[in-house]
Copies of this chain bind each other. A is one copy, B any other.
Amino acid sequence: MVNETQHTCSASSSSRSDGGSSSGSESSKDNSRCSTPVLDADRHERLREKMRRRQDAGDKWFSLEFFPPRTANAAVNLISRFDRMGAGGPLFIDVTWHPAGDPGSDKETSSMIIANTAVNYCGLETILHMTCCNQTKDDITGHLQKAKRLGLKNIMALRGDPSGEEWEEEVDGFNYAVDLVKHIRNEFDDYFDICVAGYPKGHPEAESYEADLRHLKEKVFAGADFIITQLFFRPETFLKFMKDCQAIGITCPIIPGIFPIQGYHSLRQLVKLSKLEVPQEIKDVIEPIKDNDAAIRNYGVELAVSMCRELLDSGVVHGLHFYTLNREVATTEVLKRLGLWKEDPRRPLPWAVSAHPKRRVEDVRPIFWASRPKSYIYRTQEWDDFPNGRWGNSSSPAFGELKDYYLFYLKSKSPREELLKMWGEELTGEESVFEVFTCYITGEPNRNGYKVTCMPWNDDPLATETNLLKDQLEKVNRRGILTINSQPNINGKPSTDPIVGWGPSGGYVFQKAYLEFFTSSEIVTALLKVLKKYELRVNYHIVNVKGQNITNAPDLQPNAVTWGIFPGREIIQPTVVDPVSFLSWKDEAFALWIEQWAKLYEEESPSRMIIQYIHDNYYLVNLVDNDFPLENCLWQVVEDTFELLNSATQQ
């Protein structure tokens, strides 16, 4: 009677498997389970488990390699690239280790900080490379401890290129990658997943191909979990290598490293560094077109696609690792043609999750940071746990010094000149600020012909979901209700809805309508009169930069504004309007006027004074319509407010 697909458990309740919900045990009290329903196993597995699960499911995957950039600006761009390429669904990314670039430091461009950003702020499963030669044990342990503290869970253990003329083995030193593997396992037990490098043609410095294979086996037996190979040019090179590995007892996953040729010079440089030989048939094609970048790239894509197809068709390859050289186009093209690029519009939660292990239980956030998730993660990075995401008094991080704004992952992607074009070289009054907001909403060019694609509170164009409200938003922004965040009400749409859906399929998602804006004290006075009519239905928080706060929230409790019901689960309520965190958000939201906008202009200039005036005198307002099954009444609230103002003016 018991069917294979059914779970069967034995009589005693104590025999309940702890596998599935083991995540709970860490944070739960002794006599209860974790309060976080496990929505997404993915968030709770380690990389090697994910790899195994995908392989078992016959599900092909890919991963992407990046190197740390040289400048802070390049770092900002790389992080946008992480976000864009992350959308295609890599199983992981990895960040190389540049001994010359102070890789373990806190510099914006260090390997450590780039990997940290990928994990924590972009939510990507990330492997940090680490080399060991010419380093002391203490250095290495220090790097590993720091990586662990930052939430990194995977290390690619490498020897690295010896510096200096003549490299000599040090006794008891780190001479080979295997020493690093052993050290990690000794000092950190099973905490890290460890990856090591494989050389399909043998390491250039190895005595022989066979000797190199034996070294690889040593690394695996010392505790490595999987292997990524050096690039190669022919699929048979990899397939032979894999067979040879298996023949000597290497059974862990071996992932081929794919290098789509993207240009003549980058190929030559790489070949020089890796001491590989480019096969004659490739040279024959490339040499004649070496000055035609597009032609070479097209050829590189073709070549990579055909090699990848052959590898995947072999049946023994389940994942492909791409050497991106920090470029986007060629790799994305190859992945799309292979059908591996899977932009999944479904989100596990309505906000961007972080991949830090301690954040895997995070399941609630205040709505305020909806467009600034990286800022939210930054400001809560010291939290030790995420108890339903509610901010207590003591958990409100004081809004830090202004340097926070200059943290590269919070910086605007656009340079000053572009911002000035979008937001106005010269402002003539509050009205010209209204215009900027309106143009951002409509997507129409401003009076100087430039599109406004970002705002201080939102570094990206309007979200698809917000687009649902576009017409109303335009109308109110024109009149000085300067909206920075909003969501429509949703009364039970399928969780697979491409615009508002999130979470596993088979569920239903709900929202209360939300509207957040800056506006003048004159409008606030009228608004408060209007709000009396909506007492139970609309909750509001109204605050100015000094912190004068007017609200009708009962007992200052959070108000759930996004929630979902799923088969066989508890209710998930990932977004709340939280009165405590709103006062922290207020500091950030007002500061953005000055830091991102006013400071574009000279001190004492009229433009700067206009922004300063708004900063000093406007209110930040948020409104929630609690009656989600009815038509959103917030537009009516605003309409009534304008009417009241008009009638007052006419009297």
A residues 548-569 touching B (CB-CB < 8 Å): 548-560, 563, 565-569
Q: Does A571 lie within 8 Å of B567, measured CB to CB?
A: no
Which of B14, B565, B570, B627 touches A628 (beta carbons < 8 Å)? Answer: B565
Q: How far is the CA of A492 from the CA of B508 in the complex (A)?
A: 13
Which of B395, B505, B553, B624 touches A31 (beta carbons < 8 Å)? Answer: B395
Cβ–Cβ < 8 Å partners of A573 in chain B: 570-571
How many residues of A sit at the interface, in one of the four size bands?
Answer: 35 or more
A residues 601-651 touching B (CB-CB < 8 Å): 624, 626-629
Q: Let me know if A418 is at the binding interface, CB within 8 A.
A: no
A residues 527-580 touching B (CB-CB < 8 Å): 528, 532, 536-537, 539, 546-560, 563, 565-571, 573, 576, 579-580
Q: Does A506 lie within 8 Å of B35, measured CB to CB?
A: no
Q: How far is the CB of A379 from chain B (nearest CB, A)?
A: 13
> 18 new A-B pairs (CB below 8 Å) besides A31-B395, A35-B387, A557-B568?
A3-B528, A7-B551, A8-B550, A11-B546, A11-B549, A16-B579, A16-B580, A17-B556, A20-B556, A21-B556, A30-B392, A30-B394, A32-B388, A33-B580, A35-B388, A38-B554, A506-B626, A508-B628
Asked if A547 meets B10 with Cβ closer than 8 Å, knowing A3-B528, A524-B1, A558-B570, the reply is yes
Q: Does A11 lie within 8 Å of B569, measured CB to CB?
A: no
Q: How far is the CA of A491 from the CA of B17 in the complex (A)?
A: 33
Q: Does A35 lie within 8 Å of B35, measured CB to CB?
A: yes
Q: Does A569 lie within 8 Å of B565, measured CB to CB?
A: no
Q: Let me know if A448 is at the binding interface, CB within 8 A.
A: no
Cβ–Cβ < 8 Å partners of A20 in chain B: 554-557
Q: Let me know if A269 is at the binding interface, CB within 8 A.
A: no
Cβ–Cβ < 8 Å partners of A525 in chain B: 1
Q: Identify the 7 closest CB pairs spanning chains A and B, nearest first.
A: A11-B547, A20-B555, A32-B387, A31-B395, A567-B626, A13-B583, A539-B568
Which of B3, B570, B629 touches A560 (beta carbons < 8 Å)? Answer: B570
Cβ–Cβ < 8 Å partners of A565 in chain B: 510, 560, 563, 626, 628
Q: Does A568 lie within 8 Å of B559, measured CB to CB?
A: yes
Q: How far is the CB of A602 from chain B (nearest CB, A)?
A: 30
Interchain residue pairs with CB less than 8 A apart (8): A13-B580, A20-B557, A32-B392, A35-B387, A506-B537, A539-B567, A539-B568, A563-B565
Asked if A13 meets B567 with Cβ closer than 8 Å, knowing A3-B532, A21-B556, A553-B7, the reply is no
Q: Let me know if A2 is at the binding interface, CB within 8 A.
A: yes
Q: How far is the CA of A560 from the CA of B559 in the complex (A)?
A: 19
Q: Does A21 lie within 8 Å of B557, measured CB to CB?
A: yes
Cβ–Cβ < 8 Å partners of A6 in chain B: 528, 550-552
Q: Does A551 lie within 8 Å of B32, measured CB to CB?
A: no
Q: Let me know if A28 is at the binding interface, CB within 8 A.
A: yes
Q: Does A550 lie within 8 Å of B2, measured CB to CB?
A: yes
Cβ–Cβ < 8 Å partners of A28 in chain B: 387, 392
Q: How far is the CA of A63 from the CA of B437 in the complex (A)?
A: 61
Q: How far is the CA of A241 from the CA of B309 in the complex (A)?
A: 98
Q: Does A553 lie within 8 Å of B568, measured CB to CB?
A: yes
Q: Does A21 lie within 8 Å of B390, measured CB to CB?
A: no
Q: Does A571 lie within 8 Å of B563, measured CB to CB?
A: yes
A residues 363-400 touching B (CB-CB < 8 Å): 383-385, 387-388, 390-396
C-beta contact mask, A115-148 vs B, less than 8 Å → 1, else 0? Answer: 0000000000000000000000000000000000
Q: How far is the CA of A556 from the CA of B546 in the complex (A)?
A: 49
Which of B31, B491, B532, B547 touches A12 (beta carbons < 8 Å)? Answer: B547
Q: How far is the CA of A457 from the CA of B571 in the complex (A)?
A: 28
Q: Does A394 lie within 8 Å of B31, measured CB to CB?
A: yes
Which of B11, B390, B396, B528 touches A13 (beta carbons < 8 Å)? Answer: B396
Q: How far is the CB of A226 from chain B (nearest CB, A)?
A: 26
A residues 4-51 touching B (CB-CB < 8 Å): 5-14, 16-17, 20-21, 28-33, 35, 37-38
Which of chain B's residues has its CB closest to A396's CB? B13
Q: Let me know if A432 is at the binding interface, CB within 8 A.
A: no
Cβ–Cβ < 8 Å partners of A77 in chain B: none
Cβ–Cβ < 8 Å partners of A12 in chain B: 547, 583
Q: Let me know if A326 is at the binding interface, CB within 8 A.
A: no
Q: Does A567 lie within 8 Å of B536, measured CB to CB?
A: yes
Q: Let me know if A55 is at the binding interface, CB within 8 A.
A: no
Q: How far is the CB of A222 from chain B (nearest CB, A)?
A: 34
Q: Does A21 lie within 8 Å of B568, measured CB to CB?
A: no
Which of chain B's residues has its CB closest to A385's CB? B29
Cβ–Cβ < 8 Å partners of A532 in chain B: 3
Cβ–Cβ < 8 Å partners of A569 in chain B: 554, 557, 559-560
